[in-house]
């Protein structure tokens, strides 16, 4: 099976323009980019896709062995780049996908014109020994995963609004809840462990392509200090703090998110 069908790859926008590849986070699919895509299509070739196990990807391609770490997802990203053969892409990775971009760019830097790491976290768990603050204690994450295991739909209803933020716009939290609930619980349990237990802090220094770290001004999942840490570890990277709040600026503030991506892509081309 080709990657186009396996990952439900969609290509749109300006043919021959710089290529922007948008990758979604945990519990989501490419639909989460729908407000940003039209704003990018005028100037760029835009690629969206679903991680295996999400959206309209081929669920039969998912296995707990291949996708027990970020490596399986990283290989998929590189496979999509190879099959499309559109030249170096600017990879925009949201949340856990930001680290997939880091790993992919470290592995095959020539495939990437640049990286946009949107609300990234290389490690969610605090590390008192080094002073790193990821925003959660180890006990917090254990409790989160136990709750997810016990009642995934209940966990989704409770956690999605927290992740989304913007309580004055409850429709955003409802959309993320519905997205979580569409995900197969068995797949979600594995992906949650990959998302919340991975530690990619040491991989950041391996990135050699131009990189923009775009964090939100208020984010319960990836606090501002995490964005500053990522910027400090990726040589030559730049940090921008969006006015957007919550962990999903592509939904909460699509115009601002698209503008940050556009400015960066133009700068690297």
Residues recognised as catalytic: 95, 219, 247
Gap between the Cα atoms of 157 and 177, Å rounded: 6
Concatenating the DSSP letter of every residue in 199-231 gives B-GGGGGG--S-EEEEEEEE-SSS-HHHHHHHH
CA dihedral 56, 103, 175, 227 (to 10 degrees): -170
Cα 106 from Cα 117, distance rounded (Å):
14
Q: How far from 239 is each of 22, 183, 213, CA to CA, in Å?
A: 19, 32, 5
* Residue written as token pair 């964005």: 227
Backbone angles phi, psi at 40, to 5 degrees: -95, -25
What is the C-alpha separation between 98 and 213, in angstroms, rounded? Answer: 9
Separation CA 56–CA 49 (nearest Å) = 9
Q: How far apart are CA 33 and CA 25, in angstroms?
A: 11
Phi and psi at 21, nearest 5°, equal: -115, 120
| Residue 249: C-alpha distances to residues 54, 75, 95, 156, 162 (Å) | 20, 26, 11, 19, 14
């Amino acid at each position: 099976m080709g990657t186009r069908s396996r990952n439900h790859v969609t290509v749109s926008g300006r043919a021959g323009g710089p290529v922007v590849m948008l990758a979604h986070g945990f519990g989501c699919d490419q639909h989460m980019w729908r407000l940003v895509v039209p704003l990018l299509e005028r100037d760029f070739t835009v690629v969206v896709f679903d991680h295996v196990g999400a959206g309209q990807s081929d669920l039969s391609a998912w296995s707990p062995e291949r996708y027990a770490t970020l490596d399986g997802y990283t290989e998929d990203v590189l496979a999509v780049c190879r099959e499309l053969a559109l030249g170096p892409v600017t990879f925009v990775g949201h949340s856990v996908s930001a680290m997939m971009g880091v790993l992919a760019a470290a592995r095959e830097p020539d495939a990437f014109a640049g990286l946009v790491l949107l609300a990234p976290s290389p490690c969610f768990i605090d590390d008192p020994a080094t002073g790193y603050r990821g925003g959660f204690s180890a006990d917090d994450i254990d409790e989160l995963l136990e709750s997810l295991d016990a009642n995934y739909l209940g966990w989704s209803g409770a956690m999605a609004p927290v992740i989304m933020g913007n309580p004055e716009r409850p429709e955003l939290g409802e959309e993320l809840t519905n997205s979580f609930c569409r995900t197969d619980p068995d797949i979600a349990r594995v992906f949650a462990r990959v998302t919340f237990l991975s530690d990619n802090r040491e991989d950041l220094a391996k990135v050699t392509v131009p990189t923009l770290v775009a964090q939100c001004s208020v984010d319960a999942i990836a606090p501002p200090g995490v964005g500053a840490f990522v910027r400090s570890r990726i040589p030559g990277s730049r940090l921008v703090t969006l006015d957007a709040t919550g962990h999903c600026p592509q939904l909460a503030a699509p115009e601002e998110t698209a503008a940050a991506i556009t400015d960066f892509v133009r700068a690297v081309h």
